[in-house]
Structure 1
Amino acid sequence: MGKSSAPEPTDPVETSAATTGTNVSTAIANAFLGNVNQVTNDGTLTYDQTGSYSWTDPYTGETYDVPTFTATQTLSDEQQAISDQSNAAELNLATLANNQSAFLNDYMANPFSYSVGEYENWANNLYNSLNSENNANSVDALKAQLANQGIKVGTEAYDRAMAGLTESQQNTQNQFLLDAYSTGLNTALTERNQPINEITALLSGSQVDNPTYANTNSSQITGTDNASIIGNYDSQSLAAWQQNQAATAGLLGGVGGLFSGLGKVGVTLSDARVKEDKEKIGETKDGIGIYRFRYKGDPKLQIGLMAQDVKKKRPEAVTTTPSGLMAVNYDEATK
């Protein structure tokens, strides 16, 4: 009766659902194992399941309940006290900077200015107060020196010497005024920027600190390779079909061999009218149906052809008995 039928391959949707379910369960178990509570001298880190969310696999339609966790950091009493004091100090600095910044509204509304005229008057007065007596003494000393050298007033040598002293004193005064200008300008800028620098310094000591988060344990859910699952299913389906084809071919060979050599004489009737419980189980190469059946009144299962089918494809293989029923020559029907 040929080979037995191959088992049907598992539905790829069922295989995918089983694989994904295992992956999700493994990831959840790893998450629970990895969320280890920690205790140190400075505080503790604890993990708690605080909820869950539903996720539906778009391929299988299966819904999974995935837990969510919360990591909580708690400082020791000493560290909490330090944190409270630091936060209070930073808040005070920020408040002070905010109050001082209101002053800048009017202060910055007036552009910076430095009067050259005021600078020159101030610088000349300062220079004269510091050097007028020394300059006069230098002139008297030079006159006495020239007199001792016999150089008289009104001579070219006398005028040249006095002009040199005057030029030297003027150069000294000009350099003093230049240095005084730079000093005065820098002083004015420093006074201008001082309130701004103070507020900036206050703000730099009161910056908002970003929260420090724990390095949480993250579990990844491995994806399900649906393409491979479907490919395996197709391969299994093809193998089952090939096995069925081989069984059908073996069955046909068995049928042909069973009846080979009998010819038309003594062939058991193949008329469908004398058979019951007929079940088609294959076909010949010409497309003639092969059946499993019982002759009426006989409980034994047999395999063979139906004369009516054979007559359509190979009428030369069919004969009609005196009773009007048809018989088949299997050598002719299956060659």
Structure 2
Amino acid sequence: MKYLVTGAAGFIGAKVSEELLKKGHDVVGIDIINDYYDVELKESRLAPLLKDSKFVFKKIDIAHSQDVLDLFAAEKFDRVVHLAAQAGVRYSIENPMAYADSNLVGHLNILEGCRHNNVAHLVYASSSSVYGLNAKTPFSTSDTVDHPVSLYAATKKSNELMAHSYSHLYNMPTTGLRFFTVYGPCGRPDMAPFIFTKKILDGETIDINNNGDMWRDFTYIDDIVEGVIRIADVIPARNDDWTVEEGTPASSSAPYSVYNIGHGSPINLMDFIKAIEAELGIEATKNFRGMQPGDVYQTYADTQDLFKATGYTPKVGVKEGVANLVRWYKEFYNK
């Protein structure tokens, strides 16, 4: 099949593209390659993909509707994995308009491209951040998610609502994936695992929010990609017996689904830091501080629905995952 992968120079997008190519698919990858973080890192992710004759890369901003629609019309994709977005919770406080452009307008343009070109399945990135003020754990897709604590989270919830409207109006199959704290080699420099690794190696102080009393459902990149690839084959179907009163928010009478994708076993932040310290053989200098705007105390994924649909079970534990991250970081940055 022919896949479109948006955000193909991103942490998850590059790895998803790689796995799709291994399975024999044709992949068109698009990315704006902006300078939100290290452009060289993004280009290093693309480099091995560009050596594959079944991969084509195009530099496109998904917020530019005509460019997106022209791409869809020319390529006639079978499936779309939409991972492009302006990421980051704290940056959404500083630069909210970037999130409106990429996460709202960009998402709408992808929906329009799928609608007008009979794409068989759109899989798109949502986020665990949509759970916001929810305190009940583990987080379940049957829970309501109406109280986001960051604009980033609000845009991701909006993506789910927009997808549902298109599934309902145009019988267009869509699946949203709520990612839980993805980490590993080639990871994002704005996320805690990368920041901690860099600062500890450089002898800098690491900031630890909520005085270390935080829990995250850290999920290794290879496990995430496995789940994405599997769910692409599980195309939602209409269910005319479904009702709002008796159904779950994660499904619909329309061909629409939402799943959690995470490890399903939250790790205390201090234990994760200890794993990095142990792998580096260096004790971090720590600055304990309070909870920061947009932060949540805990993330914890209930992944039973995804397991039932795909057989997806995460395999990589924190010790192995951190070791792989640290090894890559030292090699890539010559540390």
TM-score by structure 1 length?
Answer: 0.18
* Structure number, greater radius of gyration: 1
Higher relative contact order (CA 8 A, sep 6+): 1
TM-score by length of structure 2 reads 0.18
